[in-house]
């Protein structure tokens, strides 16, 4: 069995190919560039070929998306060029995660997929932190229930606000400077962005443990900028850059007979 898993985020569309339970390759394209189904299809085929995957070998496909306006073209491309009708994570799709928040329908498919990946791979109770366009913190109970979620601006959003909304601050690379005691503009911005995110992360983890009464939380980080933060704090137990893709694979497994 070889399946294509697709995570449509606000910034990037991430593709992964699994052969049974092993991830074979991953590749990305930007989300914000408008594409027709033919453009999606030819690009996906080319990227598969560049990663030594023949599209004819794919036996299934699944998508989780937080960007509705790309879905028509993307799903059309998969049907036409990959010959697969994808499972789309949403209402009616089995996940194995029970959402016990006040408004279950408001929980995005990306967060559900992360929860499935974390619980399936590491068990519960767990706190899943996804450092994406937004930084999200999701509490999963020992019994696999989605109990609570916190949403904050991502590091990229915060950085963009700095250089777009201020007249004299430049665009900078997001990385940890040598010292928090910055003495010029670029390292000053880097210090504020990275150390600020570390502080936010540690405080929210502490507060979640305090208010939930769960001390034995496994804290799992994922997302593009998660490595930078997880390397700088002992309060994150695991950084897993393919957590979302693993969640998609697990959901596919639960639903493929249908």
CA-CA distance, 213 to 21, in Å (whole number)? 35
Q: Give the CA count within 13 Å in the CB-facing half-sphere of 128.
A: 35
CB 13 within 8 A of CB 6: yes
Tokens of residue 231, six digits: 């390397």
Q: Where are the alpha helices (DSSP H) in 25-178?
A: 37-50, 71-77, 109-122, 155-165
CA-CA distance, 105 to 221, in Å (whole number)? 24
- Residues annotated catalytic, as ranges: 110
Residue positions counted in the chain:
258
CA-CA distance, 141 to 88, in Å (whole number)? 25
Q: Give the CA count within 13 Å in the CB-facing half-sphere of 192.
A: 14
CA distances (Å), origin 100, targets 138, 140, 186:
12, 10, 44
CA-CA distance, 23 to 192, in Å (whole number)? 36
What is the SS3 string spanning 225-239? CHHHHHCCCCCCCEE
The answer for residues whose C-beta is within 8 angstroms of residue 187's C-beta and 6 or more apart is: 177, 178, 179
CB 225 within 8 A of CB 214: no
CB 113 within 8 A of CB 7: yes
């Amino acid at each position: 069995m070889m399946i294509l898993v697709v995570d449509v985020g606000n910034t990037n569309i991430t593709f992964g190919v699994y052969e049974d339970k092993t991830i074979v390759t991953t590749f990305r394209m930007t989300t914000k560039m408008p594409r027709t189904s033919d453009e999606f299809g030819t690009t996906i085929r080319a990227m598969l070929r560049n990663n030594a995957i023949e599209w004819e070998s794919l036996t299934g496909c699944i998508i989780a998306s937080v960007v509705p306006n790309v879905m028509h073209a993307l799903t059309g491309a998969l049907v036409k060029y990959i010959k697969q009708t994808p499972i789309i994570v949403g209402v009616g799709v089995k996940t194995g995660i029970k959402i016990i928040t006040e408004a279950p329908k408001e929980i995005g498919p990306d967060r559900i997929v992360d929860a499935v990946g974390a619980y399936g791979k590491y068990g519960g109770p767990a706190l899943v932190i996804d450092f994406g366009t937004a930084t999200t913190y999701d509490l999963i109970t020992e019994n696999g229930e989605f109990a609570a979620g916190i949403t904050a601006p991502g590091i990229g959003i915060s950085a963009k606000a700095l250089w777009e909304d201020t007249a004299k601050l430049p665009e900078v690379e997001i990385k940890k400077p040598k010292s928090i005691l910055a003495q010029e503009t670029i390292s000053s911005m880097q210090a504020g962005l990275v150390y600020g995110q570390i502080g936010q992360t540690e405080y929210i983890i502490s507060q979640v443990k305090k208010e939930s009464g769960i001390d034995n939380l496994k804290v799992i980080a994922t997302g593009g900028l998660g490595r930078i933060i997880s390397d700088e704090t002992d309060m994150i137990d695991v950084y897993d850059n393919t957590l979302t893709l693993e969640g998609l694979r697990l959901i596919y497994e639960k639903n493929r007979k249908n």
